[in-house]
Structure 1
């Protein structure tokens, strides 16, 4: 076997020292905030995924029904920061109480469930409800009604302030 036939991966973008430094800083901050191990890694990955899907479906739903407003999106940004601070504080409480991810897990599950309900209601509002089982729609029916009512209020306020008929 000739060595010249083997690809040299040292010049790939992700093997660059800067990328290594960014990864090292990210993992250090992540471990400090949320802990280490499978619970923190998988839990925060799922939590982040649900938050991202909530943003995507909420954006699409607001564009579809005409209730999109940048100020509401800015409030959502602050809400998202809050949603990422809560598990970090819960991890700190676990460290203080010497409990193995009990408070952290409770925070992820309780806030994650709320975000999941919001995401599912946004998926419904976006018109993607054919992929949601009826049993799930029954679980989030109150959130769907609340979001539709809030959307109608935002549309009415928008028309009132802009003078649209």
Structure 2
């Protein structure tokens, strides 16, 4: 189930949205039964204030892009789980904190960075998003040659652009 506005979800996934799934619920008991039947729930860290999450404990909470989330924001979903995994890239953007005073006091440090240690961190070297030339650039700038294309199809991937059609 995806909690949050249906308008923020791809049309192909709208059938997984709370708004769609709860249409037939006529009583609070129906709603509770629906929520209790969900094995996987998707929500943003800010959306984790949903009433369902205050009554539920999940086995696992996985937070994607965790290096970009404020510590105070990421804690809420973690309280709804027995265990958690923070996924992110410490070499990418930190949380956005506009206040210089808040940055100086450490608000820019994510929980991911705070907990990062050799014992608690696993670095994934295979990537599926960049072809070989782009991966080479990323390796030069940030990853010390440790980033690898997952397979030959990824390494050779190209975007064909018809320049005549765009004129």
TM over 0.5: no
Specify the structure having the higher radius of gyration (Cα): 1
Higher strand share: 2
Structure 1 or 2: more helix by fraction: 1
